[in-house]
Amino acid sequence: MPFVPPSWTLPLPEVPDSISVETFMWDEKYGRQSLSSSENPFTDGLAGRTYTPVQVKERVDHLARALCKQFGWRPDQGSEYDKIIGIFSLNTIDYVPLTWAIHRLGGIASCASAAYNADELTYQMKDSGAKVLFTCAALLATTLTAAKKLGIPKEKVFILPMAPVMQQGLDISAHKTLEDFVTEGAKLEPMQSTDKSWSKGEGARRTAYLCYSSGTSGLPKGVMISHRNVIANTLQIATQETPNRNERMKSLNLKSYTEIALGLLPMSHIYGLVVGSHAGAFRGDGVIVLPRYDFKLLLKTIQDYKINMLYLVPPMIIHLTKSKEIVKQFDLSSVIACFTGAAPLGKETADDLLKIFPDWAVRQGYGLTETSTVVCSTVPNDIWFGSSGSLIPGTKVRLVTVEGNEITGYDQPGELWVASPSVVLGYLHNDKATKETFIDEKDGLRYMRTGDEALIAKSPNGHEHIFITDRIKELIKVKGNQVAPAELEAHLLTHPAVNDCVVIGVPSDREGEVPKAFVVKAPGSIEESDALLKRQIAKHVEDHKTDYKRLRGGIEFIDEVPKSASGKILRRLIRDQEREKMRK
């Protein structure tokens, strides 16, 4: 039996399965704030440009009409996998509306990290099968290099407009922009969709987004996130937040209650996409969108827009705690809560933050791309440091030991398995990884094996909390970004001096973790000095991988990579040895 205390979570309203993400966002039937009473969903924090909900709906409509005409696509014709559009852009107020327009034409948005270089972008877009790319001025050169490798003509590379300061000195004149499409679409006839699959509940089970994750092992894979998955997690988050929001509304004597949230985290990543954008906009919150992380700009934006809710990752919180003098120059009194996720938040960091901002609720969430984000999170009146909080409504978990036994008591760690309507469809073109990761149980539930070790503990006020205690899978998290050791290992093996290698994550104060490589030298390279070889190998990574994948944990030469009889790298052994070394 799964270890699920009965009173643990609030009941989840039925998750609608015959509508798209966008329809769900605007429909008051599902509990959102009315359109007229809500904040403007997306505001450009740099330019001050903002859209009302009505404008967003209209823009999405016009954009979809024009995209259909441009490509000769129809919402009711062809598979969604033939209509994949890649988005490689910094955050903009048009990012999420663009994805909704792609959905209207029956397509899928493949969202790529804006930190990628041309090779990394090419990998994702080739794997996705993207035929069209949207980018922004700052990333146009990288996009064109990738487009060439992908055989996508430059006429199919389009621009998402940004604040003038982000486009200064960059020539985008050869490319059609999203604004051109919106203007063009306004003159076209409305689209008539005869797609019956929505009303039958099939449409919502189609892929809406492809976000990339390496999962428990191997290279980054396309995570097939359906409309229903995003709707479910948005509804789960909203349901969990309702009591807390109602309480605030009452105490402030208001008739409705919304917040202003920070939209800084990348919308290409599930945290920024679902928690930072969809969950906020659904509740009628305003999202202040920032395209890049600049510390002073962040503080000024919080002050100017009176932001209430910060969505951050632990390294940004560390930055706040280490910059007291700068922080003091800004009025951050509008902030009610600071939410963190994607990597563990240390107790000391949380304490340091509270010393500066004693009134902030410092909240932590845990989740994955494969669960369309949130599995559990702390709520304001039940914060316990180190804990990732309680399960969000409609979620069940199991804790499983290495031997495959079920844990049925408190305080005992095991691998966390999660069942939730937000557990995704699987990995694109990868049945093997899908079967290994997603387990359909006899009780009708589909569990995701997270590859994370967790335990359940009872807080002093009697609530069950989830603590993430370790990571069993090989994934490395650098500043909340995924780094797949398999990707770095495959790349290192292309260097002539590397005969064999293994990459693991080692702790870092500022970044959480950083990659470290253990390398077996190729016979011919033994003559070279170790220092020179290390520099060459490090450069080989710097030249071909994005900044956060650099071997900041260093390079160590070893005689042999420890492997099992079947040839599998004994990663855990190396990791444990490394931890032991660090303890000494």
Nearest distance from C-beta of residue 389 to ligand 4UV, angstroms: 9
**Which one, 465 or 471, has the nearer CB to ligand 4UV?**
471
Nearest distance from C-beta of residue 271 to ligand 4UV, angstroms: 4
What are the two backbone dihedrals, phi and then psi, of residue 374, each rounded to the nearest 5 degrees? -75, 130
Q: Does 416 bind ligand 4UV (CB under 6 A)?
A: no
Contact 320, 356 (CB under 8 A): yes
**Which one, 207 or 388, has the nearer CB to ligand 4UV?**
388
How many alpha carbons fall within 13 Å on the CB side of residue 48? 2
Q: Which stretch binds ligand 4UV (CB under 6 A): 84-92, 246-254, 269-277, 395-403?
A: 269-277
Q: Does 181 bind ligand 4UV (CB under 6 A)?
A: no
Rounded Cα gap, residues 123 and 457, in angstroms:
41
Q: Looking at residues 437 to 476 of the shown chain, list those that interact with ligand 4UV (rule: CB under 6 A).
A: 450, 452, 468, 471
Q: Does 424 bind ligand 4UV (CB under 6 A)?
A: no
Q: Looking at residues 43 to 62 of the shown chain, list those that interact with ligand 4UV (rule: CB under 6 A).
A: none
Q: Which stretch binds ligand 4UV (CB under 6 A): 79-87, 158-166, 362-370, 522-530?
A: 362-370
Q: Does 368 bind ligand 4UV (CB under 6 A)?
A: yes
Q: Does 217 bind ligand 4UV (CB under 6 A)?
A: no
CA 413-417-418 angle, 5° bins: 130
Q: Does 477 bind ligand 4UV (CB under 6 A)?
A: yes
**Which one, 107 or 341, has the nearer CB to ligand 4UV?**
341
Q: Does 374 bind ligand 4UV (CB under 6 A)?
A: yes
- Give the number of other CB atoms < 10 A from CB of residue 119: 15
Q: β-strands 260-263, 286-289: how paired?
A: parallel
Q: Which stretch binds ligand 4UV (CB under 6 A): 299-307, 364-372, 456-464, 575-583?
A: 364-372
Q: β-strands 512-521, 555-557: how paired?
A: parallel
Nearest distance from C-beta of residue 337 to ligand 4UV, angstroms: 12
The order of strands in the sheet holding 309-312 is 50-51, 42-44, 286-289, 260-263, 309-312, 337-340, 361-368, 373-377, 390-391
Structure tokens at 494: 């292309």
Q: Does 233 bind ligand 4UV (CB under 6 A)?
A: no
Query: Given candidates 367, 394, 421, 515, which one binds ligand 4UV under the rule CB under 6 A?
Result: 367
Q: Does 482 bind ligand 4UV (CB under 6 A)?
A: yes
Rounded Cα gap, residues 304 and 450, in angstroms:
39
Q: What residues have CB less than 8 Å from 247, skipping those under 6 apart?
A: none
Please state, in angstroms and as integers, the Cα–Cα distance from residue 77 to each residue in 104, 129, 156, 205, following that order. Answer: 12, 18, 21, 17
**Which one, 73 or 366, has the nearer CB to ligand 4UV?**
366
Q: Does 341 bind ligand 4UV (CB under 6 A)?
A: yes
Query: CA dihedral defined by 370, 371, 374, 376, rounded to 10 degrees?
Result: -110
Nearest distance from C-beta of residue 223 to ligand 4UV, angstroms: 8
Q: Does 388 bind ligand 4UV (CB under 6 A)?
A: yes
Query: Given candidates 140, 260, 299, 342, which one binds ligand 4UV under the rule CB under 6 A?
Result: 342
Residue nearest to ligand 4UV (CB): 365
Contact 487, 219 (CB under 8 A): yes
Q: Does 231 bind ligand 4UV (CB under 6 A)?
A: no
What are the two backbone dihedrals, phi and then psi, of residue 344, each rounded to the nearest 5 degrees? -65, 145
Q: Which stretch binds ligand 4UV (CB under 6 A): 22-30, 270-278, 498-506, 537-545?
A: 270-278
Rounded Cα gap, residues 43 and 286, in angstroms:
7
Q: Does 479 bind ligand 4UV (CB under 6 A)?
A: no
Contact 120, 546 (CB under 8 A): yes
Nearest distance from C-beta of residue 255 to ligand 4UV, angstroms: 29
Q: Which stretch binds ligand 4UV (CB under 6 A): 8-16, 249-257, 295-303, 367-375?
A: 367-375
How many alpha carbons fall within 13 Å on the CB side of residue 191? 25
Q: Which residues pair with 109 in a beta bridge?
A: 85, 209
**Which one, 124 or 377, has the nearer CB to ligand 4UV?**
377
Nearest distance from C-beta of residue 368 to ligand 4UV, angstroms: 4
Q: Whole-angstrom distance between the N-terminal and C-terminal Cα of the chain?
A: 42
- 3-state SS, residue 210: strand
Query: Given candidates 19, 63, 270, 290, which one binds ligand 4UV under the rule CB under 6 A?
Result: 270
- 3-state SS, residue 520: strand
Residues forming the site for ligand 4UV (CB under 6 A): 213, 270-271, 275, 341-344, 364-369, 373-375, 377, 388, 450, 452, 468, 471, 477, 480, 482
